[in-house]
Amino acid sequence: MTRARGRRWARALGVLALFVLAFWLTGCDPAVFWARRAHLRDIVSQLFPPDWSYLSAIVAPLLATLRMSVTGTALGVLLALILAPLCAANLPCPAPVRRILRFLVQVLRSFPALILALLATFLFGLGTFSGTVAITLFTLAVMTRMTYEDIETLTLAPYRALCAMGASPARAYARAVVPEIASGYLTNALYLLETNVRHSAILGYVGAGGIGLLLNEKISWREYGRVGAILVCLFVTVCCIEWLSHVLGRIIRGERSIPRGAKRAIWAAVLVCVVVCTAGIEAPDLAHTSKSVLAAMGTGLLHPDWSFFFGTGKDGLGWLLLETVGIALAGTGLGALLALPLAFLSTPKLLPRPVALLFRVLIVAIRSVPFLIYGLIFIRVSGPGAFTGVLTLAVCSIGLLSKRFTEAIESLDFRAYDALRAMGVSLLPRIRYAVLPQLGPAFSSAVLYRFDVNIREASVLGLVGAGGIGAPLIFAMNQYAWNDVSAIFLGFVLLVWLIDVRERQRLPPATPEQPVNGNAVKNVHHDGF
């Protein structure tokens, strides 16, 4: 017992040392933020009350954002259902093909939707078509991995029986495997839809259509009243989608029964919605896409700049990746520290329902703002640099982690808590002795996953001057320096792969971005994306 306790303390001290190192590496200086807090207060005071007269100008780009989200999610989840069986180790696919496909999925999964959107604009021009392509690829990568991991947990006896009776592998897959994974698959698709709405809201920043362009423009012109109106619209949209996702998720998981006719009506409404959204996507603009441009891009991407890749200075790839990791680690740690009390405050089982509801609304409000918008706001407070990236990711982490922590708390066995309450024990000791001991695995899983997400988000914060690898990447892409882009891509893929391997060594197969109550299977994106 003493030895186990010693190992736990050693791990805790090691994690603490890593966070301290990350804060030092990124130059975090709370004194600077405190000295300039008036700038943040001024921005917030200008955001509210919003400029309601601007609502009419928000409708069209907001609808474009929703069209990209719905169409990209639908296409991504459909293609993932086709690609996943080719990646699953327990289904008959040649091993070389499976390894190649898994590698491609891993590479695609390494990049945030914003980078994919920027690449798409080079190929298909500006507009919602490029944004839809980015969301589709992002969803495809995430859903494919989640789906083939779910398939690998099945025994597949019905599948083999159908194959032995003469059914083709595709027919056996559709009849015996798909029904087994359908609940988790649809739950993950709904969650990704929520995530993709937030991703789509910033794709306009790189010219991929939607409301992101409008947000960037109004923040740049410091028209914060109009920014507030846009954020309120995003908040309402996210709330509606989350409510719809919650209702549909309960139906999918069998927690709420409805007549068969109602189910058919829901499926028909979903199909109509997807068709309408897809029809509203702009056609690609290929006027500026030439064979010479594509050839230059392909040649550059296949020939990385190795001098930059192996550079050891502060302008080399190694240092930039290290800074990116530091930003993600410090932001995750600070966000987790702030999210923990919010999770307890938003749990109706621990506090009166009106109080918990108030904090839940606050958490949703935090989550509804895209991470890049936080970066654009914080850079006016703390200035350019890695510290701004840390503040941005910390606030974004609060939103997701608070939700995951709350779900974990609500799924606990509260008999010990209720017994202590009946004995007259006060609130804090009840939480200390009856709640916290049960939360260790769920909390660590959520934090590790959020760190994985923050690595990707930190890679694009350079767009707004918030440090890390993002600034050199965007600069190289805008300068058509595809050799440098290739080196950065290669380094980033290796970094994400190493982190992924480390997480797989620590976590059981069914984790991270799942609702930690275990009611749904793995959800990997998130939130993100």
215-274 tens-digit pLDDT: 878 887 888 889 889 989 988 888 888 888 878 877 877 777 888 888 888 889 889 999
Q: Which amino acid is at 33?
A: F
CATH architecture of 290-506: Orthogonal Bundle (1.10)
Looking at residue 524, its pLDDT comes to 41
Structure confidence by residue, pLDDT tens digits, 177-211: 998 898 889 888 988 888 888 888 888 878 888 88
In the prediction, which pLDDT does 335 show? 92
Supply the pLDDT for residue 222: 83
- Residues 280 and 407: their CA atoms lie apart, in Å, by 36
Mean pLDDT for 412-438 is 79
CA dist., res. 101 & res. 123, Å (int): 23
DSSP tag of 91? S
Tell me the pLDDT tens digit for each residue of 138-183: 999 999 998 998 999 888 888 989 988 888 888 999 888 998 898 8
Q: Which residue has the tokens 């380094």?
A: 491
Q: Which pLDDT value is given to residue 510?
A: 41
Helix, coil or strand: residue 116: helix
Does domain 52-279 fall into CATH 3.40.50.300?
no
SS3 labels along 416-468: HHHHHHHCCCCHHHHHHHHHHHHHHHHHHHHHHHHHHHHHHHHCCHHHHCCCC
Question: What residues contact residue 206 under an 8 Å CB cut-off, 6+ apart?
Answer: 114, 117, 118, 121, 212, 463
Q: Is the pLDDT of residue 511 over 80?
A: no
pLDDT at 275: 92
Predicted TM-score (pTM) of this structure: 0.84
Q: pLDDT at position 197, please? A: 87
* Mean pLDDT for all residues in the chain: 83
Tokens of 226: 């109009």
Which of 9, 78, 6, 16 is closest to 333 using CA atoms? 16
Higher-confidence residue of 474 and 490: namely: 490
DSSP state string for 52-90: GGGHHHHHHHHHHHHHHHHHHHHHHHHHHHHHHHHH-TT
Statement: residue 135 has pLDDT above 90: yes
Percent of the chain past pLDDT 70, that is, above it, reads 93
Q: What is the largest CA-CA distance in the chain?
A: 77
pLDDT band, residue 505 (cuts 50/70/90): low
Instruction: Reply yes or no on whether the pLDDT at 404 is more than 80.
Output: yes
Model pLDDT for residues 271-312, shown as the tens digit of each residue: 999 999 999 888 887 766 667 777 888 888 888 888 888 877
Query: Does 366 score more than 50 pLDDT?
Result: yes
User: What percentage of the chain reaches a pLDDT higher than 90?
Assistant: 16
d(C-alpha 310, C-alpha 317), whole Å: 7
CA pair distance 144, 153, nearest whole angstrom: 15
Helices (H), 110-177: 113-124, 128-151, 157-164, 169-172
C-alpha 116/C-alpha 489 separation (Å) is 12
Note the pLDDT of residue 407.
81
Residue 500: is its pLDDT beyond 80?
no
pLDDT for residue 288: 65
Nearest CA-CA partner of 514 in 500, 524, 502, 529: 524
Task: Name, of 117-131, 135-149, 451-465, 497-511, the range with top average pLDDT.
Answer: 135-149
pLDDT beyond 70 at 518: no
Beta-carbon contacts of residue 122 (< 8 Å; ≥ 6 apart): 289, 293, 297, 477
State the pLDDT at residue 76: 95
Residue 272 pLDDT: 93
Q: Is residue 39 packed enough to be buried (19+ CB in 10 Å), middle (13-18) or exposed (0-12)? A: middle
Task: Report the pLDDT averaged over residues 25-38.
Answer: 84
Instruction: Give me the residue spans of the domains in the chain.
Output: 52-279, 290-506
> Hey, what are 473's tokens?
């990447």
Confidence tier at 503 by pLDDT (50, 70, 90):
low
Fold matches, 52-279 and 290-506: yes
Instruction: Taking residues 422-444, report their average pLDDT.
Output: 79
